[in-house]
Every structure is written in C-alpha cells, then in structure tokens.
Chains A and B, each alone.
Chain A
C-alpha cells in the first residue's frame, strides 16, 4: 500500500516536467554516437534493450501486481522470431521487429490465458515453468532454432554501429512511451485496480481475468521488442538468452530501479548491463560477486529502489 501511495508522486511531478525530462534524455542519448566509440555504443544499445525489457517487467510486477519469474521467455520469443524472420524472410529490421512483437502477443495470450488464473505464489511458479518450457522448446527443436548451439547464420542487419544504435534508441523510446501511456490510460488504471482489489473490480463490472491478461500481453509484447533488438545487435540468439538467470537479472533491474516506476527499471537495466561489462573486463569471474554485493546493499539500503527512495523523501 505504501508504494502505491507514493505513486501519487507521479502526479506531483507535473506532466510537462516529465515530458521535458524525457525529451532532454532522448536528445542526450541520441547524441551519444558523437561521444562514445563503437564498442561503447554497441554496449549502450544492448543496455537500452535490457532496460526496455526491465520496464516491461516492472509494468507486470509493479503496476499489475503479477510477479513473473519467466519474463526471459518473452525475450527469447522476440529474439527467435526476429532472427528467423531475418534468416528466412526479410532483411528489413522494422518487419523483423513487427514479427517479434506479434509473436510476443501470441505467446502472451497462449501462456497468459492459464497464468492469470493463478495467484501470488502459484503465478510465480507457473511463470517459472513457462520459462523452463521455453528453454526446452528452444533447445529441443534443433532444426528450427539450432538447438543448444543457438540460431546461427543470421544475416547481419546491414546497419553500421551508429545507425543501429539510433534504431535501437528509437525502438526503446517508443516502447517505453507506449508503456507509460498505457499505464496512465483507462486500461492501465483498470490493471492497477485489479492489483489493488479483484473482488471490487468484479463488483464494478470488470472482467478481472481479462484485465490481468491485458497486462501480460502488454508486458510480453514490449519485452519481445527488446528481445528482437538483442538478436539484431548480435545477430545471434541461443537458449541461454531465455534461462532463469536472465529472468532473475530482469527482476533485479526492476527491484533496483524501483518496481513502482517504469523509468527506474529502465535506468537500472542500462546501468547493470554497462556495469557488468566494465566489471567483467576488469575482474573476470569476480564480477558476479560485485553484482551480488551491489544487489544486497541496494535492497538493504533502498527497499523501494533508487527512484522509489527519492520519491518517498519528496513526498
């Protein structure tokens, strides 16, 4: 309850201020190719993709109250769909993205149909199972996905590093914008209502299962878009992209950034990917230790995430 009271802070920061901040951040990010070298730019593009996926998970977990342990499955669905499209259909990155989003929606409808009928702990276990099934499906259907070796021989996008970065930035900005607009629209508020009180929602005339399913579909579609970017960046996707470790990583981003916001997890996603790259170069395997320690410290000191804390003090 406390966290949602703080959500009122969104209203306090006026819509105009938020839009200006968003525009300023966008301009700054768009100028990055003039400041960073190709390696760092590529890294940032990947960070943004994970940030978008973390934001989509925050929509599901924080806004919808649906704790998922299998969100990486949507990353995988988007990445494989985009990769297969690139390999067999078209080199057009936008079309690949659309196919990935469509696949994400379809997968969300198929799995969500059952998942949203469970609650709390069972929802968690159900999504965990879906994630595992997705990994198995990717591993076993060798002929389509390349199995354990991953989907190889995906033709490159044909975009240079700078152009791809801008493409990724555009996708992330639009995807994030869609998440924010949907959260603040009638459907998004109905999703918040279902999080707060299902019985009352039904009494008001809402089909609660449908509302929850809509939350899964929105989060799944946006995450699949992020997955498509991951594939397009590396022109590679393997079952390891879908593993529980990735789902947990996304959850950590959400918790670090503050699950009651969408922008917090986005920032945490970018930060964590960049930090991981820096520490793994400097420390080798030890980076896991750094990341773990950081996570423990953050959760201990900032139970509401980086942005949640700030907002609490403001209020």
Chain B
C-alpha cells in the first residue's frame, strides 16, 4: 500500500534521510525505531507531504504521490499525528475533532449545514472523544500532556485514514497510559506506521519493525528478530539502556 523508493532528504550537507526504500502492506503495523536524529520524523513529514523530498519517490495505493500536496494526500487517506502535539489550542476539543470530521466528509468549505448534518457530525465527534476519554467543551490549549496526546490521536482517527502515521504517540505518557494506548491501537483495523521510543509499546503493537540510523535502514524484521539483532542492540537498544537505566 505504501512504497518508498530511495527516498532522500538533504538539509544542506546533512542527509537526514538517505535513500530509504521500504514497503508497507495493507493492514500491516509497521514500527519505525532508531536513535534521535535517525530521520524518522523527517521521513514521516515526507510521507504525509509536509516536506518535499530531495530525491526518490513515494507510492501510495499504487500511485506516485511524491508531488502531491499534503492536503490532497490527506484526502486520499493518509493521516498523521504530530510528535509535538499540534492542536487548535483556542478551540474546544469537540471543535478540534469536528474540523477533522468535516474535512473527511468534504464539508469543510460549506457556508452552512442543516441541523441534521450538524447533529450527525456532533454524534460522530462525541464518539471519538468518548473513545479517547476526553470532555467536549474544554479548550485544547488547557489540556494536560497526556490528554493532548489523546486528542491528537482522536483527530487522526476521525479522519478514518487508510494509512495512519503516528509520530511518538506515547511520548510523555505514564506507563499505565501507554499500555492502555497500545491496547487501543491494537484494536484499530487500519494500516499503521508508528515511530515510538517506548519499546514496550512498539513490541506490543508492531507486526514488523524497521530500524533507522543516520537516515539509513539498518535492520528490518519481525519484532522478535529485531530484539535478537546484535546490530540493533549496538546502535539503538544499547544507547537506550544507558539513557534509561
């Protein structure tokens, strides 16, 4: 469903992403791990369309979308959450999600909607907020960190994407929160690409893991294979242990 071919992003002399090729199949849950600066977020931004790659191609659903602007990719079914919560801070939680729902239904540019349609939208919004245990009226800017992360996900889910890109969704969550979160993700039936530092979440969610370091793919395999790989241990898990233990 998603194929990256020799995808490259250069910032000056730095190759943030350096010839990454990978393909993600329909229904797969692919985790992308790697140390800070490995190019994970840059890769995400290119897949979503926020960054134009310096080289290589992105294919989604068998079509080349490399030149397609971000909003058109979103309409084709690619949704993302942001590493640092990117919400409509001044608007209520309900309105944050409603913007996503209206966009998906193609109603975002309508001057006016009948009350029937509005009720429909409201019902759907309430569903996503309940799922993420968020209250409707609070402004997004007043949420705690964990709540903001959940609102991020609620908005992405409201897009009913075919491919969901989650950029460190569990960052800053307590271990109880992230366990609940992993459970929720497991119950989604959408193709998933997830960048995450919390390896408990990664190994709980992913069906397949790709390891990135210095902009290159250095390993690729099932969660069990990745856990066992010495190379991965050295560049990533090793350093992680030093930091966290």
Q: Name A residues whose Cβ lies closer than 8 Å to a Cβ of B.
A: 1, 3-5, 7-8, 181-182, 185-187, 189-190, 192-193, 196-197, 199-208, 210-211, 214
Instruction: Tell me, in angstroms, the Cα distance from A210 to B142 when the chains sit together.
Output: 29
Instruction: Tell me, in angstroms, the Cα distance from A202 to B99 when the chains sit together.
Output: 11
B139 contacts A8, CB within 8 Å? yes
Proximity string of chain B (130-156) to chain A, C-beta cutoff 8 Å, 1 when within and 0 when not? 000000010101100000000000010
Query: Which residue in B92, B112, B159 is a CB contact (below 8 Å) of A204?
Result: B159
Write the chain B residue with the least CB distance to A198. B86
Write out the residue numbers on chain B whose beta carbons fall within 8 Å of the beta carbon of A3. Answer: 90
- Known contacts A1-B141, A206-B108, A214-B109: A193-B88 contact under CB 8 Å: yes
**Interface residue? B31 (CB, 8 A):** no
Write out the residue numbers on chain A whose beta carbons fall within 8 Å of the beta carbon of B10. Answer: none
Query: Which residue in B49, B95, B99, B111 is a CB contact (below 8 Å) of A201?
Result: B99
**Interface residue? B104 (CB, 8 A):** yes
Most buried by B among A182, A202, A205, A206: A205
B155 contacts A204, CB within 8 Å? yes
Most buried by A among B49, B88, B103, B141: B88
Write out the residue numbers on chain A whose beta carbons fall within 8 Å of the beta carbon of B98. Answer: 189
**Main DSSP-derived SS at the A contact region:** helix
Q: Give, as a whole number of angstroms, the nearest-CB distance from A59 to chain B.
A: 13
Instruction: Tell me, in angstroms, the Cα distance from A8 to B91 when the chains sit together.
Output: 8
Write the chain B residue with the least CB distance to A200. B86
- Known contacts A200-B88, A203-B79: A186-B141 contact under CB 8 Å: no
Within 8 A of A (CB), among B70-117: 70-72, 74-75, 79-80, 82, 86-92, 95, 98-100, 102-104, 107-113
B111 contacts A187, CB within 8 Å? yes
Most buried by B among A5, A196, A203: A203
Write the chain B residue with the least CB distance to A3. B90
B139 contacts A204, CB within 8 Å? no
- Known contacts A186-B113, A205-B71, A207-B71: A200-B108 contact under CB 8 Å: no
Write out the residue numbers on chain B whose beta carbons fall within 8 Å of the beta carbon of A193. Answer: 88, 91, 99
A197 contacts B108, CB within 8 Å? no
B88 contacts A197, CB within 8 Å? yes
A204 contacts B109, CB within 8 Å? no
A192 contacts B102, CB within 8 Å? no
Most buried by B among A3, A196, A208, A210: A196
A186 contacts B88, CB within 8 Å? no
**Interface residue? B48 (CB, 8 A):** yes
Instruction: Tell me, in angstroms, the Cα distance from A211 to B141 when the chains sit together.
Output: 23
Write out the residue numbers on chain A whose beta carbons fall within 8 Å of the beta carbon of B79. Answer: 203-204
**Interface residue? B22 (CB, 8 A):** no
